[in-house]
Chains A and B, each alone.
Chain A
Amino acid sequence: MGLFFRRVTRSAVMKATALMGDSPLFLVNYLMRLLRVVVLLTLWRSLLPTHGTTSGLTLGQVLTYTVVGAAAAELLACRTWLEDSFWSGAIAMRYLRPMGIFLQFSAEMMGPIVLGIACFSVPLLALSPLLGVNPLPANLGAGALFPVSLALAVTICLAIEYLFSGFAVAIQMHPYAINSMRAAVWAVLSGAFLPLDLLPWGLGRVFEWLPFAATASSPLKIYIGSGAPLPMMAVQVGWAVLLWPIAIWVWNANRERMVAYGG
């Protein structure tokens, strides 16, 4: 167990220190994300009434949703970039390491996430009262259920990650095409930036049943106290149980067909 833990933490640390690289320029990314949050908050303030609700959401709830969504962005849309390693050829060396492929990439994923939490999420949540946003959960129950829902969201995200990686091997396409399409569709369907309740024509009620919503909308709605948490978490569990066997099957069925490009 100790060895396992050490392997995982070492992988995460390696990735995080590689990201920090040879210059503090990596911090610019976080400044840009902060700017984006500020613009989004301005947009909501110009759209929603100060008093009363819109589709059951108050302005305060939407602002908290936006800030917490930005703070937890790396967990809500967690990426291992496994499919990029097919393209660069780095995957070949991965098979020589004494860790499973999924575990290697999942462990490495945690490095930038922890770095992001330290450099962006915590400062953002601390600064949010200055932006006129209450960063606290709606109530104690919401605060207690949020981490559970967030963990389920990460589980589903990873399942989708490996599912897409399996498809990437199957169709042997440049990962850019798949990544950009997936990111764009996720941004709309997950509710990470735009609460699904605010979508027109009742689309949100349809989207909330999709796995993308289970990765972002569900934990964020639980945090702000919108909707019943247990049914949302039940949907999350359902997607996790459904997607993981499919992801493993797709991966196992296609890994022998893998061609590593580059060198």
Chain B
Amino acid sequence: MEAEKPTPVPLRLFRLWGVYARMDLLLLTRDLKSFLVWSLSDAITNVAAVTGMLFLAARFRGIGSWSQPQIVFMLGYAALVEGLGSLFFNYNVLHISRRIGRGQLDHVLIQPQPLWMTLLTEGFSPAFSLPMAAPGIGMLLWALPRLTMGVSFPAFVLNLISSTAVLLGFQFLWGSLAFSAPRAAEEINSSTLDLMNQLKQYPLNGTGGLLRFGLLTLLPVGFLAWVPCQALLGMDRSALGIYKTPLAALVFGLLAAAAFGKGMRYYARIGSQRYTDFGHRS
């Protein structure tokens, strides 16, 4: 009997995204009340998250060297990065410390596919996350015709994906702490994500050398909007401008892979003391 040919990886990924998209839609639309409350709360949350900076931009007709449309573009970009993170890495993939800390990584490990494939697909959540991306798209559409120069679409897409990758890498880097400190670090990704989301909307031009260095390395919030938007809007004219964020994504991806790999080796020996036989964390 001839063995069944394995499904090509890209096709398998699309099939899995399709499965998770359907499950996500079913969860959201299980009743009208859930649908309305979730959609409304996400829309309000995301509009409110950038409203403060929008108010400041309106009040001061821009912020520092950034004009009003440039600030709105940056806020839209930042909101879209958050939206993309939620779109592809929802259900505690972006909050990986929760899964690790609660012993729920076992749920991923028993699946008949590589770990990376599960983590790349399991958090796909278009129904819940599209309302989160909508305000960002709206702001970009408002800002684009008002900018004095055009924005390269390929460079925009490259940087947008890279910014999301920086966010994901940073989350996995910190989240890996939960391998060795499952209880203390279970919620560490909530803190890191909150901080990234809160700080990503600020233009960092006025920050001093040491602080700026910290905001591009230890806490790479600058790569979520400020660095890529400066390059896309022609404010950073250096040759490497549009490649800075992709390079940062590569570095943070490698660091996260190393930290997560080390954590997995520890997990293989120790397991999780928080996963009890009735499935609830202690």
Which A positions have Cβ atoms within 8 angstroms of B? 21-26, 28-29, 32, 35-36, 38-40, 42-43, 45-47, 171, 173, 177-178, 180-181, 183-185, 187-188, 193-194, 198-201, 203, 263
Contacts and interface: CB of A to CB of B under 8 A. Distances in A.
A209 to B, nearest CB: 18
A107 B224 CA distance: 39
A184 B44 contact: yes
B18 interface: no
Listed from nearest, the 10 A-B pairs whose CB atoms lie closest are: A23-B184, A46-B206, A184-B48, A181-B41, A21-B184, A200-B59, A177-B41, A23-B181, A184-B45, A200-B58
A185 B44 contact: yes
A194 B41 contact: no
B38 A177 contact: yes
A198 B199 contact: no
Interface string B41-74: 1101110110110011011100110000000000
Contacts of B215: 35, 39
Dominant SS among interface residues on chain B: helix
Contacts of A22: 181, 183-184
Given A21-B184, A39-B202, A193-B52, 17 more contacts: A21-B181, A25-B181, A28-B188, A28-B191, A29-B191, A32-B192, A38-B211, A39-B207, A46-B205, A47-B56, A173-B34, A180-B45, A181-B40, A184-B44, A185-B44, A198-B59, A203-B55
A188 B51 contact: yes
Nearest to A263: B280
Nearest to A24: B184
Interface string B189-229: 00110010011001011111001001100010000000000
9 contacts: A25-B181, A28-B191, A32-B192, A43-B206, A45-B206, A171-B37, A180-B42, A194-B52, A263-B280
Interface string B122-140: 0000000000000000000
A156 to B, nearest CB: 20
Nearest to A262: B280
Nearest to B51: A188
A196 to B, nearest CB: 10
Contact of A26 (B184, B198, B208): B184
Interface residues of B, number: 43
B269 interface: no
Dominant SS among interface residues on chain A: helix
A39 B44 CA distance: 25
B33 interface: yes
Given A47-B56, A200-B58, A263-B280, A36 B198 contact: yes
Contacts of A188: 48, 51-52, 55
Nearest to A26: B184
Contacts of A35: 195, 199, 214-215, 219
Contacts of A21: 181, 183-184
B41 A178 contact: yes
A200 B216 CA distance: 31
B177 interface: yes
A62 to B, nearest CB: 12
Contacts of A200: 55, 58-59
A263 to B, nearest CB: 7
A183 B34 CA distance: 19
A202 B49 CA distance: 20
B81 interface: no
Which of A43, A173, A183 is packed against the most chain B CB atoms within 10 Å? Answer: A43
Contact of A32 (B40, B184, B191): B191
A88 B85 CA distance: 26
A172 B49 CA distance: 25
Interface string B97-120: 000000000000000000000000
B76 to A, nearest CB: 17
B207 A47 contact: no
Interface string B156-183: 0000000000000000000001000101
B75 interface: no
Contacts of A173: 33-34, 37
A205 B18 CA distance: 49
A194 B191 contact: no
B87 interface: no
A125 to B, nearest CB: 20
A25 B191 CA distance: 11
B185 interface: yes
A29 to B, nearest CB: 5
A188 B45 CA distance: 10
Interface in B239-266: none
Given A25-B177, A42-B211, A188-B48, A47 B37 contact: no
A155 to B, nearest CB: 24
A194 B192 contact: no
A43 B184 contact: no
A22 to B, nearest CB: 5
